[in-house]
């Protein structure tokens, strides 16, 4: 897992920026020319940050999801705070946990805050994980009281999921429910199961194709959480 990156991608109606030390859809919405994009914050780890195996810069799932949403008439401006090896409890390559990344990325005018991960919290005390997830979600609520929360649990590349990952999933699902967030369970949905072509040779990180796949899964979830205009 690599360092926190900084990226700004802009197009006519959508933008994705990485905050530095950040079923296929068919329905479309008309967006008036000049309409400001919805603000979205994304808090995550190297599954979003990208690695040497794939997903860096414009190949990241966040950048590709932005392009998908723009094509559907749903422009967004996303602040992405993602740090390799980071989790809700475990500190990443630059010492951040998800609470730190939340403080860095979330803005008062955000319409949606997305949390994605993290398998990096394997082995931590579950009560501590529960408390730190609560704090991250509460921070997002306090900073952006009008925003919806979308919490995506940790994915796993095979059907043989370690008990520690299932425990992380269960804790996050519980805290997401308590926070009034929408919870997505990649394990139950078998996101990467039987798709070794989407995972790098390290057996962990998604390739460029894997990031494209993630964009196809997550962009419709983002769209469904944004207000109708």
pLDDT digit string (tens) for 163-178?
Answer: 999 999 999 999 999 9
pLDDT score recorded for residue 184 = 99
Q: Six-digit token pair at 203?
A: 């057996």
Question: Active site includes 94?
Answer: no
* The pLDDT of residue 35: 74
Q: For 94-120, how does the pLDDT look when each residue is reduced to its tens digit (9 = 90+)?
A: 999 999 999 999 999 999 999 999 999
Tell me which residues of the chain have a pLDDT lower than 50. Answer: 1-15, 20-32
The CATH fold of domain 7-225: Rossmann fold (3.40.50)
Among residues 109, 125, 197, 202, which one is catalytic? 202
Query: Which are the contacts of 121, defined by CB distance < 8 A and separation ≥ 6?
Result: 87, 88, 89, 90, 129, 154, 168
Q: Which of 17, 44, 118, 205 is catalytic?
A: 205
Which among 17, 46, 60, 118 is annotated as catalytic? 46
Q: With the CA atoms of 213, 219, 225 and 226 taken in that order, what torsion angle do they form, in degrees rounded to the nearest 10? A: 170
Is 60 a residue of the active site? no
**Annotation says 202 is catalytic:** yes
Q: For the chain, which residues make up each domain, given as ranges?
A: 7-225
Cis amide prior to 56 (ω within 30 degrees): no
The 3-state DSSP class for residue 143 equals helix
Amino acid 19: pLDDT:
54
């Amino acid at each position: 897992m690599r360092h926190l990156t900084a990226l700004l991608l802009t197009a006519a109606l959508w933008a994705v920026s990485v905050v530095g030390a950040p079923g296929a859809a068919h329905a479309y919405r008309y967006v008036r020319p000049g309409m400001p994009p919805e603000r979205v914050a994304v808090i995550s780890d190297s599954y979003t940050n990208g690695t040497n195996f794939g997903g860096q810069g414009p190949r990241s799932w966040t950048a590709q999801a932005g392009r998908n949403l723009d094509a559907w008439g749903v422009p967004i401006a996303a602040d992405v705070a993602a740090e390799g090896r980071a989790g809700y409890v475990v500190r990443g390559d630059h010492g951040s946990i998800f609470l730190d990344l939340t403080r860095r990325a979330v803005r008062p005018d955000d319409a949606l805050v997305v949390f994605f991960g993290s398998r990096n919290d394997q082995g931590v005390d579950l009560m501590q994980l529960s408390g730190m997830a609560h704090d991250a979600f509460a921070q997002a609520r306090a900073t952006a009281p009008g925003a919806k929360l979308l919490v995506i649990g940790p994915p796993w590349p095979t059907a043989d999921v370690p008990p520690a990952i299932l425990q992380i999933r269960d804790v996050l699902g519980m805290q997401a429910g308590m926070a009034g967030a929408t919870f997505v369970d990649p394990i139950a949905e078998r996101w990467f199961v039987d798709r070794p072509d989407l995972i790098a040779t390290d057996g962990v990180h998604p390739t460029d194709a894997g990031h494209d796949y993630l964009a196809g899964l997550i962009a419709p979830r983002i769209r469904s959480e944004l207000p109708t205009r």
